[in-house]
Amino acid sequence: MLIFKRGHTHINQDDLSEYLDGRLSGTAAARIDLRLTECASCRRDLDALRSTVSLLQQMPELTLPRSFIMPGPPPAPVALRPPAPLRMPQWVYSGAAATAALVFAILVSADATGLLAPKLTAQPEVTAQALRAAPESFQQEDRDGAARAIEMAAPQAPVVNEAISAEKGLNIAVTREAEVAEAEAVAPTLRQAAVPPQTAAKVEAPADTSASAPVAAMATTEVKEVATSEVARPQPEAAMSALAVEEGVKAKSVPLTPEVAMAAAKADESAKMKADSTPSIIALTTPQRPPEPTTVAQDSPRGIPPPYNPINIWRVLEGLAAVTAVGFLVVWILRRRAGR
């Protein structure tokens, strides 16, 4: 009871302050008057507040150091500030730097994960070297080399790997092998001049068996197609012949199901990654071929889109983003220093 009474009936600070200034209405003031007669603590509070206010009111008025009377109209405000674009708040600079850095990071990570891959090309010098080195090594160990290439390439193709784990044990590979063999038979002239048939079979076969599914098999075929076309770019004739060879295979094997097209699209990406990361492997799988009539690829009903985009626009954008980020960062730091 006592606690409730004490806690409940103390006059709050706002009321006391207003009471002191005589700004409370009659009833409110009367309530406080009553409370003050009952509560010594409230009385002390009021006295202390009154003394405080009294001290404040007695604060001496300071004399002016000088008169502020103006001799005439003050001059118009002088534009001491630099032009507006340079006077943007600090966060604009830091924000711009952060945004540019973010764009740069996104571009780089997209690049690294292969999202921008269709626009990326293999390093020409590396590829040329690999192509030059390819024939000898291929002749020496064409079977082993091809097998190794497939071995090394397989883990890098997620589509294929998924297919391996998902469809292990299915026997569709047999059908695929037959198809591939048929495809090769359809393009004998091209094969003659290009890969030794048994090598090509080797190249196709392990991939097919490991894939064990039409979609996955198609993917590997596509992988090699695109890889071939990418690697062979520095040497147009070789590229054309490569296209011709693969066209022969493709012409037969493509029209399977609609989902093949999707698989091909997926495979394109992984092929790009390989084209970038392991040019020597690709070189091994694409031995030197003699020149072929350039019309073959164009005549083909399902021609591979020719490689294009010699200038890599994404890399240029990455560079621009990096330069922008660094530039804004420098400006921001300089302005922070100047601001101190």
Partner 1 sequence: MVSTAEVLNCTTHEPLPVQDRSGATHCYNCIIESMQIQAYNLARRMLEDWSLAEDAAQESFVSGYRAFHQFRGNNLKAWVMRIVANTCKDMLRSRRARPTVPLDPISSDPDDPTAPPSAVDLPSSEESPEAYAEREELARIIQSGLASLPEEQRLAVLLVDVQGMDYEEAAATMHCSLGTVKSRLSRGRGRMKDYLRNTGELLPDLFRQEV
Based on the shown chain and the rule CB under 8 A, indicate whether residue 68 belongs to the binding site for partner 1. Answer: yes
Residue among 71 and 258 whose Cβ is closer to partner 1? 71
Give buried/exposed letters for 267-292 (b at 16+ CB in 10 A, else e): bbbbbbbbbbebbbbbbbbbbbbeeb
Residue among 1 and 70 whose Cβ is closer to partner 1? 70
Based on the shown chain and the rule CB under 8 A, indicate whether residue 161 belongs to the binding site for partner 1. Answer: no
Based on the shown chain and the rule CB under 8 A, indicate whether residue 62 belongs to the binding site for partner 1. Answer: yes
Based on the shown chain and the rule CB under 8 A, indicate whether residue 73 belongs to the binding site for partner 1. Answer: yes
Residue 238 has φ and ψ, to the nearest 5°, of: -60, -40
Contacts of partner 1 in 280-299 (CB under 8 A): none
Of 214, 237, 236, 115, residue with least CA distance to 163: 214
Based on the shown chain and the rule CB under 8 A, indicate whether residue 77 belongs to the binding site for partner 1. Answer: yes
Of positions 59, 80, 84, 311, contacts partner 1 by CB under 8 A = 59
Instruction: Please give the C-alpha separations between residue 191 and each of 39, 199, 222, 253, 286, in angstroms, as whole numbers.
Output: 111, 10, 18, 16, 12
Of positions 56, 79, 80, 338, contacts partner 1 by CB under 8 A = 56
Q: Are 51 and 30 in contact (CB under 8 A)?
A: no
Based on the shown chain and the rule CB under 8 A, indicate whether residue 48 belongs to the binding site for partner 1. Answer: yes
Based on the shown chain and the rule CB under 8 A, indicate whether residue 339 belongs to the binding site for partner 1. Answer: yes
Q: Say how far apart CA 60 and CA 65 lie, in whole Å.
A: 15
Mark the segment that binds partner 1 (CB under 8 A) among 53-61, 119-127, 155-163, 203-211: 53-61
Residue among 3 and 69 whose Cβ is closer to partner 1? 69
Residue among 13 and 298 whose Cβ is closer to partner 1? 13
Based on the shown chain and the rule CB under 8 A, indicate whether residue 1 belongs to the binding site for partner 1. Answer: no
Helices of type H across the chain: 2-9, 13-20, 26-38, 40-57, 90-112, 124-153, 158-167, 172-186, 188-193, 197-211, 214-231, 236-253, 258-277, 279-285, 295-299, 313-339
Neighbours of 149 (CB within 10 A): 25
Based on the shown chain and the rule CB under 8 A, indicate whether residue 67 belongs to the binding site for partner 1. Answer: yes
Based on the shown chain and the rule CB under 8 A, indicate whether residue 25 belongs to the binding site for partner 1. Answer: no
Binding site for partner 1 (CB under 8 A): 13-14, 16-18, 21, 23, 44, 47-49, 51-53, 55-57, 59-74, 77, 339-340
